[in-house]
A = this chain, B = another copy of it.
Amino acid sequence: MALYFEDFQPGAKLESPGVTVTEAHVVAFAGLTGDFNPLHLDEERARRTIFGGRIAHGLLTLSLAAGLLAPNIYGSAIALLEASARFLRPVRIGDTIRAIAEVLDKRPSEKYAGGVVRLRHEVRNQRGEVVAVAETKILVAKRP
C-alpha cells in the first residue's frame, strides 16, 4: 500500500496514527542520542524551567512526525534528502501527538526513476495545538 511518486498530489494530505509520548520514549531517545539534558530527564530541575516539567526532545518530536508516516513509503522511498522543523510548543510526557503531512510539490528525476517530493508536516497534540511544523524532502521511486 506504499505511495509511489505518481501518487503524490500537491495539496493531498496524509495523517499518521497518534502516539502518547511517554517517559519510555524520552529515556530511550536520550540513551540513543546521548542527549541527557536535564530538561528532558531531570524532573526536579525541569520543574523550575519555563516548561514546569520534563519535555520531549524536539528531535524526538520531529522523528516521530516522520516515522509515524513512514509506512506510507515503505519500499517506495529511496532516500530522505532534507528535513527541517520549528518547535512551537513543548511536548510533555503524557501528551499524544500525531502528524499531518501535506504534499507541497514534486519534481521528477530521471536519474533515480522517481522524483523529489516536498512535504509539510504539522505535529498536533491532543488539544489540537500545533507543537511543531516541519518540512521534508524525500526521493521517491516511480511505481515499478
Q: Which residues of A contact B (CB under 8 A)?
A: 1, 17-20, 22-25, 27-39, 41-45, 49-51, 54, 57-60, 62-64, 66-68, 70-75, 77-87, 90, 94, 96, 112, 126
Contacts and interface: CB of A to CB of B under 8 A. Distances in A.
Given A17-B36, A24-B24, 9 more contacts: A1-B1, A17-B42, A20-B43, A28-B31, A28-B32, A29-B63, A34-B70, A35-B66, A82-B87
B96 A78 contact: no
A35 B83 contact: no
A33 B64 contact: yes
A119 to B, nearest CB: 14
Nearest to A39: B77
Contacts of A44: 18, 20, 96, 126
Chain A at the B interface: SS class: mixed
Contact of A38 (B66, B75, B82, B90): B75
Contacts of A73: 37
Contacts of A31: 28, 30-32, 34
A84 B82 contact: yes
Contact of A83 (B29, B59, B72, B126): B59
Contacts of A70: 33-37
Contacts of A112: 50
Pick the most buried of A27, A66, A90: most chain B CB atoms within 10 A of its CB: A27
